[in-house]
Amino acid sequence: MNKTILFLIFLTFLLFSQNIYSNETLPITIVAEQDFPPYNFNNQDYKPTGISVDLIQAIIDDLGMNNKIMTVPWARCYKMGLKQKNVLVVGISKMKHRNNLFKWVGKITSFSATFYKLKKRDDIIIKNLEDLKKYTIGVLLDDSRAQYLLNKGFKKDLQLIINRSNTLSFKQLFFKRIDLVPFDKPGLKYLLQHLNDNNNEIKFFYDINKLKEVYTINDFSEGLWIAFNKETSDKIVNKFRESYQRIAKKGVIEKLQKKWDCLY
């Protein structure tokens, strides 16, 4: 075998190793919550959309992959990320107690928890976190805001009404079945619009002008992130981290934050 053939074999191997992910489906499952606009949710055609979906799609394209994004209820999404190897969770709040539970890829955007009440509820007065314990609060099962409040001494069924969707919490708020709902400012208008587009009730009930901010927690998380199950190989995780960095340097993340009105 002459040197030319050896060189061609080496070159072929090198090109293959650099493009090992091109046009193939990696053995990973990409999941996102189905009811969390504008971050990740199903549109009227039941297709995944939102800033998180756009960002992970940019990474998928950058890596030359064919993997699809699956949207499921948050509790299932979170459980899959915790329990199943090679699961990638898109749009998960990074919190201190979660740091060692996942392998973190990159930040999507900042994130806060603003508590909303019906504007007519003058009886609800919140000056500090302890005041919140006087009222019933609708939260999402296994959500970062629910976990934060539980860690602060709030009790299930007494103060915290655990729901399986954010839209259900806001329905309960508008129908005066609960007192407060924590959500983030950029997401509120999207969620109510999403609710209005997919309900059989009168749109009047979901008028954003009927709500009022009463309290905000800014430091409960490090923002929304992309994260792998901790058993996923470092080789795969690092490929995604490198892709995330390439995309960030191109300004893609900032453009997506502007597109979805998620700049803080």
* pLDDT 10s digits, 144-184: 999 999 999 999 999 999 999 999 999 999 999 999 999 98
Per residue in 224-263, pLDDT (tens digit) is 999 999 999 999 999 999 999 999 999 999 999 999 998 7
User: Distance from CA of residue 87 to its chain's centroid?
Assistant: 14
Domains and CATH numbers, the chain: 26-110+222-259 (3.40.190.10), 113-217 (3.40.190.10)
Residues 243, 35 contacting (CB under 8 angstroms): no
Question: Across the chain, what does the average pLDDT equal?
Answer: 89
pLDDT band at 16 (very low <50, low <70, confident <90, very high): very low
Instruction: State the DSSP code for 164.
Output: S
With beta carbons less than 8 A apart as the criterion, state whether 81 and 93 touch.
no
Q: Cα-flanking dihedrals φ and ψ of residue 252, to 5°?
A: -65, -40
Give the pLDDT score at 9: 44
Q: Above pLDDT 90, what percent of the chain?
A: 77
What percent of the chain is predicted at pLDDT more than 70? Answer: 88
Q: In a 3-state reduction of DSSP, which class is residue 214?
A: strand
Q: Which residue has the tokens 């009463």?
A: 214
The total of other beta-carbon atoms located within 10 Å of residue 75's CB is 16
DSSP secondary structure code for residue 205 in this structure: G
